[in-house]
Amino acid sequence: MALKIGVIGCGGIGNRHSINYKSLPGSELVCVCDMDKERADKLAKNHGVKAYYDVGEMLKKEKLDAASVCTAGAENGGHHYQPTMQCLEAGLHVLCEKPISNDIEEGRKMVARAKELKRCFGINLNHRFTPLTQRAKGWVVEGKLGEGLIINMLMWINNKNDSSPWFHVKALHPHSIDVMRYFAGPVRKVQCFMMKPATRKACWSNLSINLQFANGMIGHLTGSYDVNPAHGLERCEFIGTSGRFYLDNLFDRLTLFNNASDERTVIERNMMKAESFDDTFKNRIARWVEQLNEGADPEKIEASGRDGLGASEITHAAIESFEKGTVVDLEDRG
Ligand SMILES: NC(=O)c1ccc[n+]([C@@H]2O[C@H](COP(=O)([O-])OP(=O)(O)OC[C@H]3O[C@@H](n4cnc5c(N)ncnc54)[C@H](O)[C@@H]3O)[C@@H](O)[C@H]2O)c1
């Protein structure tokens, strides 16, 4: 039987989650919920499902297996905590949008409560769900690149939001940091510089972060909210003792260089599949539904709450580093 799903938060992202749950054979979109009645009614009508305006009411009336939390709030994460906790307490599995929360204490509580209740808790860290990203991960796991040395990442888009000093680092960089953690594992130390152009009043919209990973690898993240992403939005470079790869724009191009030869392997976007950014949602939600249907151990959920928290611990450490001018040691938090 297909999993019964509710989607909370009926903005553009709630719509993307809804479309995917509807199209997957393993899930059934049962209802959507938004405290903004007009938004809930519109999305419900578009998808032919029931609308709710209160999460408690939805949980009382419907027998759901899982929910997507697609709320936003301050720094795009201020509204995730309450509905996530309500759904976990009601026994649902939860897929929450990133960042896990804009408040790190809330994020820690969400992860701890999901663990106590043995509920599956995932974060929509969709940038790691592309065929090329997963192919590159296979190379790292197989040891094709040798011992990992350096990982560099660049991610930028154009977002004029100037609502908070930390909007850029907290809202965007869980994605870039998650990709780095996916390849290089947990982070130990963080050092960060930020800058903003004269056009900004509040938001530090450019950043440069140095990382030291628990396995000894080192790395760098360059991020910006001031660049047109039409010519590319991200690049990841992994350097090991036996070779290195460049991953361009998630699904555009993956290039492998082997130290022992002057040949390179280039794998490019599959034109027949015409992948787009929407596919990162499709792939991520398909894997979430697949894992739930397999009865996955909550500790084995891919792009889990713990991963979302790990990425946000680093964004918060970057803020601390920038404010105090120090290197922040995360010990086992990142
Ligand atoms: N994974 C990605 O690639 C990606 C891309 C963009 C945005 N996002 C994330 O998606 C989330 C949603 O983004 P959006 O642009 O759709 O936001 P939005 O502000 O357009 O929509 C959020 C909706 O949630 C509703 N809401 C808030 N709290 C609620 C509650 N307790 N109960 C019911 N409804 C509630 C609001 O009324 C609002 O309609 C954000 O966290 C954002 O960071 C993810």
DSSP 327: P
- Only one residue has tokens 């850029």, namely 168
| Whether 90 and 230 share a structural domain | no
Q: Is 18 among the domain residues?
A: yes
| Whether 101 and 158 share a structural domain | no
Q: What is the CATH number of the domain that holds 287?
A: 3.40.50.720
| Whether 88 and 183 share a structural domain | no
| Whether 264 and 141 share a structural domain | yes
pLDDT at residue 232 in the model: 85
Alpha-carbon torsion 291, 48, 277, 197, what sign? negative
Backbone angles phi, psi at 216, to 5 degrees: 100, -15
Rounded CA separation 170/206 (Å): 12
Please state the atom number of ligand 1 nearest to the C-alpha of residue 79.
28
| Whether 163 and 178 share a structural domain | yes
Rounded CA separation 166/56 (Å): 31
| Whether 139 and 269 share a structural domain | yes
pLDDT at residue 273 in the model: 75
pLDDT at residue 270 in the model: 78
pLDDT at residue 230 in the model: 87
pLDDT at residue 57 in the model: 98
The residues that bridge with 123 in the sheet, in sequence order, are: 96
* Amino acid at residue number 277: F
Which of 55, 71, 85, 157 is the pocket-test mutation for ligand 1 (most atoms within 8 Å of CB)? 71
Q: Is 204 among the domain residues?
A: yes
Pocket-forming residues, ligand 1, beta carbon under 6 Å: 8-14, 33-36, 39, 55, 70-72, 76-77, 79, 82-83, 97-98, 124, 126, 171
Chain Cα centroid distance, residue 50: 28
Rounded CA separation 35/212 (Å): 42
DSSP 22: H
Q: Is 153 among the domain residues?
A: yes
Q: Whose CA is nearest to atom 41 of ligand 1?
A: 72
| Whether 164 and 246 share a structural domain | yes
| Whether 112 and 164 share a structural domain | no
Rounded CA separation 143/28 (Å): 40
Q: What is the CATH number of the domain that holds 224?
A: 3.30.360.10
Q: Is 266 among the domain residues?
A: yes
Q: Whose CA is nearest to atom 19 of ligand 1?
A: 72
Rounded CA separation 285/70 (Å): 13
The helix (run of H) or strand (run of E) holding residue 160 is none
| Whether 40 and 68 share a structural domain | yes
| Whether 69 and 175 share a structural domain | no
Q: Which domain holds residue 86?
A: 3-126+281-303
Q: Is 288 among the domain residues?
A: yes
Which of 70, 89, 172 is the pocket-test mutation for ligand 1 (most atoms within 8 Å of CB)? 70
Q: Is 57 among the domain residues?
A: yes
| Whether 185 and 218 share a structural domain | yes
| Whether 320 and 227 share a structural domain | yes
CB atoms under 10 Å from CB of 271, counted, come to: 7
Which residues contact residue 121 at a Cβ distance below 8 angstroms, ignoring those fewer than 6 apart?
84, 88, 93, 94, 96, 110, 111, 114, 298, 301, 304, 305
Q: List per-residue pLDDT tens for the chain, 334 residues long.
A: 899 999 999 999 999 999 999 999 999 999 999 999 999 999 999 999 999 999 999 999 999 999 999 999 999 999 999 999 999 999 999 999 999 999 999 999 999 999 999 999 999 999 999 999 999 999 999 999 999 999 999 999 999 999 999 999 999 999 999 999 999 999 999 999 999 999 999 999 999 999 999 999 999 999 999 999 888 899 999 999 999 999 999 999 999 999 999 999 999 987 777 688 999 999 999 999 999 999 999 999 999 999 999 999 999 999 999 999 999 999 867 7
pLDDT at residue 271 in the model: 77
pLDDT at residue 103 in the model: 98
**Count of structural domains, the chain:** 2
Q: Is 334 among the domain residues?
A: no
